[in-house]
Amino acid sequence: MTDQVDIANLLEELRTFEPPDEFRRNAVVSSDAIYDEADADYEAFWAGQAEAHVSWFKKWDTVLEWNAPFAKWFVGAELNVSYNCLDRHVESGYGDKVAYFWEGEPGDKKELTYKWLLDETCRVSNALKELGVRKGDRVAIYLGMVPELAPVMLACTRIGAPHTVVFAGFSADSLSGRINDASAKVLVTADGGWRRGAIVPLKENADEALKAAPTIEKVLVVRRTEQDVSMQDGRDVWYHDIVPNQSATCEPEHLDAEHPLYILYTSGTTAKPKGILHTTGGYLVGVAATHHLIFDLKRNEDVYWCAADAGWVTGHSYIVYGPLCNGATSIMYEGAPDVPDKDRLWDIAERYKATILYTAPTAIRTFMKWGTSFVEKHDLSALRLLGSVGEPINPEAWVWYQQVIGGGRCPVVDTWWQTETGAIMISPLPGITKLKPGSATFPVPGIGADVVNDKGESQPFGGAGYIVLTRPWPSMLRTVYGDDQRYIDTYWSKFEGKYFPGDGCKRDEEGYFWFLGRVDDVMNVAGHRISTYEVESALVDHETVAESAVVGRVGQDKAENIVAFVTLKGDVTGDEALLQELREHVSKKIGKIARPAMIIFTEDLPKTRSGKIMRRLLRDVAEGRPLGDVTTLANENVVEEIRDKAAARAGKEED
């Protein structure tokens, strides 16, 4: 029982969920013929989607040029993303339509119309040009969820300057690393951001980052939190000083379909994050088509809310580009879900009559913990569809979401995808798919996916292994920025001719996909990817640490926590104070999301005779399982010792 909901009983009753008749009748997709049509000729299918959802200045000569693993989509075509997201809607009479009901954490509210977004985007475009940004230059964006965010991103696309958005929760070090890798010329940031009533000091972090990021020539600063910040003469410019007096017209560049659109960094299995490169035409087709099909979007009726942060790919694809390209009305909320109280999201959903809500399992589990009373205070009867993304959703959370938030009537689309895939790859279509709580169901029309074993052999239904994608798709990453070899090695070398996402997956007897989590050293903490190696590097960077090994500990509810095993130098003692200091150190090096939930000091780490740390055993220890095979261990006693220490620390960890 979680509050008044009997989950076990519901799970028993809700083995499957069929779309309600009314939903099916009115759905964007109400017949499964779309799968056969897409499979018969996937290039033709995507070309059809490209015609339906995107306006092109110049049509393509060839739909796909595939020199595996390098793809070009809509070859020869020209378009502009901001034109598609703004101008054409205004031109067809939708200027006064609300693009975003924006709400700040302190309670301030704004209605951002398509006309306002277009004008502001043009003004920002002109301001960026004045600051020296030219087509092809990279612009870094380190902003919270402020009203200026979408105009800044769209302005970059208007002038053909690829952006790289850095999550506002990342540290100065993480910011400078990304700026340097992208060689960004201009940074757009704010004085600060609101988070749980406190100020995240964005400008201060940016100043720190820029000491080690020499490519930045100008910094454009949005005023949000209004505390004093230092402005460097000749480098820093207030947004309100140069944007409002720019012209509200700026011709959109006619860009090649393969022109770089943005770089977004994501953790891989080494310390250095990978710059995932997306390009213009294919990406826009992918996000617009999936947003329309999977969220069953009725442009003039729905109020759509993706409660993610634009610092992650979900925000790029399903807060900004997909919804705007489709002319949707969205909700954008700046802050935390428990300010001023734990019913903030439900209060917002009620006031704007949200019809579609898209959030992450980690958030759903938090709402479950808080209990149903916060939800019951509000009328959520406008909701008709729910979505989930970021990590496997445990069936208990699925059922709670469907029953308590969705009133038992809303389908839930569990959507599997990655920064690299750009758009949703595995998901139900809500008007036709019979749902099973905890399963992302089937590949999206046009997407080829399979489950294979170590040798790359397809596994029959009922089997488990690795998920692979078997065909190119329009919104696929084009490369790792500046590092084609890493692109080939990471994604295309494990299985010949197949894209390897790094996730384990099983398929049931009916062919439903059930995701099992990552199979590499990448953890998924509250829906965010962090590599064990990044956290280890941050720890050994501390003067007291000799060596460390980090593992992700997955609990009953599938939530993953960071557990660090640390050996200290010489005669340093591992006390409570040092433990807190190390946590803070990781937070400072990477960001708060990477702070270990548990740190265990140990004399030694379990290693093979060749000196390789045996993480498998550490994971067993962290998750409280009996130890697996220990015969290859060089130092047998050490695991016992670590296990005792871990048991002693259990219960003392950070929430």
Q: Distances from the Cα of 506 to the Cαs of 208, 451, 497, 502, 503, in angstroms? A: 45, 7, 21, 13, 10
Q: Which is nearer to ligand WTA, 120 or 296 (CB)?
A: 296
- How is residue 260 annotated by DSSP? E
**Minimum distance of ligand WTA from residue 364's CB (angstroms):** 12
Q: Which is nearer to ligand WTA, 280 or 314 (CB)?
A: 314
Taking a C-beta distance cutoff of 8 angstroms, is the pair 100, 332 a contact? yes
Q: What is the DSSP string of 297-329?
A: --TTT-EEEE-S-TTSHHHIIIIIIHHHHTT-E
**Minimum distance of ligand WTA from residue 20's CB (angstroms):** 22
**Minimum distance of ligand WTA from residue 422's CB (angstroms):** 10
Q: Which is nearer to ligand WTA, 183 or 418 (CB)?
A: 418
**Minimum distance of ligand WTA from residue 264's CB (angstroms):** 9
Taking a C-beta distance cutoff of 8 angstroms, is the pair 185, 134 a contact? no
Q: Which is nearer to ligand WTA, 333 or 417 (CB)?
A: 417
Taking a C-beta distance cutoff of 8 angstroms, is the pair 499, 468 a contact? yes
Please give the helix or strand (H or E) that residue 292 lies within, else none: helix 280-294
Q: What is the DSSP string of 578-627?
A: HHHHHHHHHHHHTBGGG--SEEEE-S---BBTT--B-HHHHHHHHTTPPP
Q: Which is nearer to ligand WTA, 269 or 635 (CB)?
A: 269
Taking a C-beta distance cutoff of 8 angstroms, is the pair 262, 317 a contact? no
Please give the helix or strand (H or E) that residue 26 lies within, else none: helix 21-26
**Minimum distance of ligand WTA from residue 467's CB (angstroms):** 9
Question: Between 42-53 and 280-294, two packed helices, what is the crossing angle to 10 degrees?
Answer: 90
**Minimum distance of ligand WTA from residue 312's CB (angstroms):** 6
525 beta partners: 528
Residues 528, 591: Cα–Cα separation, whole Å: 12
**Minimum distance of ligand WTA from residue 631's CB (angstroms):** 31
**Minimum distance of ligand WTA from residue 255's CB (angstroms):** 25
- Residues lying near ligand WTA in the complex (CB under 6 A) are found at 266, 312-314, 389-392, 414-419, 440, 501-503, 515, 518, 524, 529
**Minimum distance of ligand WTA from residue 358's CB (angstroms):** 11
- Residue type at 134? R
Taking a C-beta distance cutoff of 8 angstroms, is the pair 336, 105 a contact? yes
**Minimum distance of ligand WTA from residue 11's CB (angstroms):** 18
Side-chain-side CA neighbours of 88 within 13 Å: the count stands at 16
**Minimum distance of ligand WTA from residue 518's CB (angstroms):** 5
58 beta partners: 78
Q: What three-state secondary structure class fits 356? A: strand
- Residue type at 383? L
Residues 213, 181: Cα–Cα separation, whole Å: 10
Q: Is the peptide bond before 340 cis (omega within 30 degrees of 0)?
A: yes
Alpha carbon 580 to chain centroid distance? 28
Q: Which is nearer to ligand WTA, 415 or 548 (CB)?
A: 415
129: Cβ contacts below 8 Å, ≥ 6 apart? 159, 250
**Minimum distance of ligand WTA from residue 218's CB (angstroms):** 30
Place of tokens 């985007």: 121
Taking a C-beta distance cutoff of 8 angstroms, is the pair 646, 621 a contact? yes
